[in-house]
């Protein structure tokens, strides 16, 4: 019998315009736009990843960072396997606000929650305008029991590695089996919260979606990963 795909839910959060949607589009579609509109409430899409021969369906949530959506946004933090707390390395204020996002996240969690937290420095390609050093990010992450990454959605540097590392961390901690994210999706629908948009899928894309994957072989020495076209699970 073929091994079933494992569903993993991951959410992006952080101030508006720090680069969350850039990561979302780069990972899901391998695309990037400098003129991306701000996310309204939340977007969600899926992509399959093969890590060391095992198949995972990554359900990625891109949440809004604007103050007007904060009350709604926090509802999407519940019952996630991994939270990616994002900041812009060229905006120190966005880094300072990460602590506030962590507090909002913790306010909606159960005591038994085992969500893994990553700290993501976005826009690494703008290193010349950096206001937050890598060491500052690493120190904050260590102090808050987080894993630190920096990435560039513009050129794709470090994006896939974030999700590979998230899966590896879940494998290590056994956190994959502790959550049932489908229940949380049903709750959102029952309470008629703002609609979560799903990427439109053409008939050809639907037919080939099982073949749309990112293949990763965990290899610390090389850090290399093979990629294929994105799709929705």
The tens place of each residue's pLDDT in the chain, 233 residues long, gives 445 678 999 999 999 999 999 999 999 999 887 766 665 557 899 999 988 888 999 999 998 755 555 566 667 888 899 999 999 999 999 999 999 999 999 988 876 678 999 999 999 999 999 999 999 999 999 999 999 999 999 999 999 999 999 999 998 887 665 444 444 443 333 333 333 344 444 444 444 444 445 555 554 333 333 333 333 44
pLDDT computed for residue 29 by the predictor: 93
Residue 226 lies in a domain: no
Q: How far is CA 99 from CA 23, 119, 129, 192, in A?
A: 21, 11, 22, 29
Residue 159 lies in a domain: yes
Residue 21 lies in a domain: yes
Residue 45 lies in a domain: yes
Residue 212 lies in a domain: no
pLDDT computed for residue 187 by the predictor: 31
Q: How far is CA 33 from CA 22, 41, 96, 231, in A?
A: 7, 20, 26, 18
| Domain count for the chain | 1
Phi and psi at residue 31, to the nearest 5° = -130, 160
DSSP helix/strand/coil, 116 = strand
CATH code of the domain in which 86 resides: 3.40.50.300
Residue 149 lies in a domain: yes
What pTM, to 2 d.p., does this model score?
Answer: 0.75
pLDDT computed for residue 72 by the predictor: 61
DSSP helix/strand/coil, 79 = coil
Residue 228 lies in a domain: no
Beta-carbon contacts of residue 34 (< 8 Å; ≥ 6 apart): 154
User: What residues pair up with 214 in beta bridges, in sequence order?
Assistant: 49, 227
Token representation of residue 18 = 């720090």
**Residue range(s) defining the domain that contains residue 73:** 6-196
Residue 152 lies in a domain: yes
Token representation of residue 115 = 């969500």
């Amino acid at each position: 019998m073929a091994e079933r795909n494992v569903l993993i839910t991951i959410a992006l959060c952080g101030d508006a315009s720090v680069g969350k949607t850039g990561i979302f589009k780069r990972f899901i579609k391998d695309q990037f736009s400098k003129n991306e509109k701000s996310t309204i409430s939340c977007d969600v899409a899926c992509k399959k990843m093969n890590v060391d021969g095992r198949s995972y369906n990554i359900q990625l949530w891109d949440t809004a960072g604007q103050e007007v959506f904060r009350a709604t946004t926090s509802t999407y933090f519940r019952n996630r396997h991994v939270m990616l707390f994002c900041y812009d390395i060229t905006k120190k204020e966005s880094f300072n606000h990460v602590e506030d996002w962590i507090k909002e996240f913790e306010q909606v969690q159960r005591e038994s929650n085992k969500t893994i937290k990553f700290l993501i420095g976005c826009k690494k390609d703008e290193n010349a305008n950096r206001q937050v050093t890598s060491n500052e990010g690493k120190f904050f992450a260590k102090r808050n029991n987080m894993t630190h990454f920096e990435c560039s959605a513009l050129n794709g540097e470090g994006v896939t590695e974030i999700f590979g590392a998230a899966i590896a961390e879940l494998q290590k901690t056994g956190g994959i089996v502790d959550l049932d994210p489908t229940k949380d999706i049903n709750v959102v629908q029952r309470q008629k919260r703002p609609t979560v948009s799903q990427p439109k899928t053409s008939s050809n894309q639907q037919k080939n979606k099982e073949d749309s994957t990112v293949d990763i072989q965990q290899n610390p020495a090389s850090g290399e990963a093979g990629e294929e076209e994105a799709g929705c699970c």
